Structure 1
């Protein structure tokens, strides 16, 4: 699901191309707000594959114009390092890892080498029953780093809610989110508004963006995160579409075939469950999932008995930030 935050990779790398701090902050907001719909296309809540400790997912995306440059060369240039070593410097690469099971913490990292932009984040999900709903508190943060501008944009994440769990479940996002750039002092306050018990719209979002020491926002936006949001520049009064889902086509993730994946990579880990679900064999899927979970419990018991500590595959605690290699430094 975290990889779907980059379903529109051009919106992410475009941050680098904005000429002023204000425009870069607004583009960060545009990418951030448009990143939620791709991983939540269905309005019906579904139980995900619960990631297992040490599970890793790698993928990459092609960007507009990248294929043309590749085709003009007889041999693809590979970065040779980083999260997806076989990517080219013109592709956006991504890696995620389940770095802890108790508590459940996921960490992920993305980079575009030629644009010199990267994103790293960690999220601790805490679930709680709320009567007829389930709430998921997403504790953590992400950081967008623009290496050539010397800027970092810290982002937090909204909470998730599974509503009407006894009838037809549906999902919504709620809570306050902040995006800050300490180097420029710019800040965006975002509110994901939950639907009132009676009346009101679902999935509403409001946003205000401020310059340093300013009380009046220079940019505002409102709408729904799963359909459309509109923005307005305060000084000029100019309005614009922040994003419109119906006109945005999610870019397909590029993932290595299961046969070429390592044992701890996601699609290889869950291949038997996936095959059973595709065959509509829920009993086989449940059995495969239980075998996988039992293996995890057995391995945890061995570590407990021997006193061994878990060593992460890619992303190292306690900082939980992927260490970039020379490809982007």
Structure 2
């Protein structure tokens, strides 16, 4: 799935580029300039970019690779042969799952980690549980949701994260201001991130299916008694001069103390003008609704018209129970300023997402991670891309994918089904976290 953030691709020259995808490994050679790696401690460069160097014991500081948010730009004119090769494989309407993608469009992180960006404003998320009135909670859900898409690195580069390996897991947490309140701050040993505490927002994601590609993720804040469970099936299609990524699935915000669920859907992503200067936009209609209270919202992510320069526009309406007229309308840009207007009284509120503080997620060091955790799995690919050692990145990526194919063949030969670790399948393509907060709290109450 193409990264949803960033509006243009300005491609810079690289060294010895190749292309590959999750199921195919046809290399496409391109010429670039090699880089070298320094062998001392990490420190910022004079240009502001983090220089990743080796630790005292000689091992590369892989954690620093993921904290380095600078992405090289790309000059498309230097990659014309690669783009032509890509287009030669596709036709309009074709599913792009099996298509070989050029290496230079890869972002240095897994799709599972990208989903964590929905919680880059964790304070906005947990505030939902603090509000006493159902209307106020609905408005806060909408504010959190609409503010989540701009988050992450403020880069002009739009790239494709790694396709997660089946069984891959990503964990992280956020230290939330005022996340404790008057409650205890004990460790949550049975939570999704067992080394975290009650005052922290925790997140876990798992790649639960490879064909079709489905990711499931879950977040919770113990003290605020709020959680979020989602599954997304990504399906991409070639549309001529554009690529569309359909995000099929839904998420559910569970406000436990009020026994409320807010069900949200997700917009599609579009890579436009792929032959000239590509840029990314969101499009489609999404819904947010609370079955218990009857409050609901419709959001339109408006794609850029053929004529005109308006991009990244949204239009939303929020309705009360059994009401046909919205009590709140929202307009503006999902990556800029949004204007909230109450129709029943003369009141307006402007939210500029670029002025909202992004709270950095915390990820445990790679040395302490399990073998199937995202940053540990992809560390050699990430290092190769960061230092323009594309052959090394290609070999590391192909090794991961070949291992996945070998394991799938072995299961097929043995007649074994794949078993998810953290999520349970419900229905055809729906997944829920096995030990959600509401269930654990209920068990604690029953035991006492």
Q: With structure 1 as the length reference, what TM-score do the two structures score?
A: 0.94
Q: How does 1:125-140 map to 2 (within 5 A)?
A: 125-140=234-249
Paired with 1:37 and 1:224, the residues of 2 have a C-alpha distance of 10
Contact 1:44-1:169 at 8 Å conserved across structures = no
The reply to whether residue 115 of structure 1 matches residue 228 of structure 2 is: no
Match of 1:304 in 2: 412
Q: How does 1:1-329 map to 2 (within 5 A)?
A: 1-39=114-152, 41-66=154-179, 77-241=186-350, 243-318=351-426, 319-323=430-434, 324=436, 328-329=441-442
Contact 1:133-1:162 at 8 Å conserved across structures = yes
Q: With structure 2 as the length reference, what TM-score do the two structures score?
A: 0.70
Q: Alpha carbons of 1:69 and 1:88: their partners in 2 closer, same or farther (altered >3 Å)?
A: farther
Helix, strand or coil: the match of 1:89?
A: coil
Paired with 1:40 and 1:187, the residues of 2 have a C-alpha distance of 31
Query: Mean alpha-carbon deviation: is it higher for 114-123 or for 316-325?
Result: 316-325
The offset of 1:40, in angstroms, is 6.8
Paired with 1:194 and 1:13, the residues of 2 have a C-alpha distance of 31
The offset of 1:86, in angstroms, is 1.1
Query: Mean alpha-carbon deviation: is it higher for 289-298 or for 103-112?
Result: 289-298
Contact 1:78-1:85 at 8 Å conserved across structures = yes
Unaligned runs of 5+ in 1: none
The offset of 1:277, in angstroms, is 2.0
Runs of 4 or more off by more than 6 Å in structure 1? 67-70
Paired with 2:231 and 2:144, the residues of 1 have a C-alpha distance of 18
Paired with 2:150 and 2:239, the residues of 1 have a C-alpha distance of 24
Deviations 1:22-43 (A, max 9, x none): 1110100000000001147434
The offset of 1:328, in angstroms, is 4.3
The offset of 1:246, in angstroms, is 2.4
Deviations 1:67-90 (A, max 9, x none): 9999xx9xx721111110111101
Q: Alpha carbons of 1:124 and 1:4: their partners in 2 closer, same or farther (altered >3 Å)?
A: same
Q: Alpha carbons of 1:77 and 1:186: their partners in 2 closer, same or farther (altered >3 Å)?
A: same
Unaligned runs of 5+ in 2: 1-113, 443-448
The alignment's C-alpha RMSD in Å is 1.8
Aligned pair count?
A: 324
Helix, strand or coil: the match of 2:204?
A: strand
Contact 1:159-1:175 at 8 Å conserved across structures = yes
Query: Considering only CA atoms, is the larger Rg found in Structure 1 or Structure 2?
Result: 2
